[in-house]
Amino acid sequence: MAKYFCTEAGWRAADDMMQIRGGRGYESWSSLVERDDRPMAVERTQRDARVSRILEGTSEIMQLIHCP
């Protein structure tokens, strides 16, 4: 249950952060530094959050097993 909760909460936080940053959220750290913009690791955070929903057992399967 804890893994499912943390995975989903992390994904929601990363998705919200991407929405707030808009198009700049899709830029890499180095691209933002080159443009003299404040770098934030949004694209990497969202990519890693997405992978964590898949690798250790998909969230859909964990929901079927652990959540009534």
The widest CA-to-CA distance across the chain, in whole angstroms, is 49
Catalytic annotation, pick one of 8, 27, 34, 56 = 56
56 is catalytic: yes
Which residues have a Cβ under 8 Å from the Cβ of 7 and sit 6 or more positions away?
Answer: 49, 52, 53, 56, 59
Q: What amino acid positions are annotated as catalytic residues?
A: 56
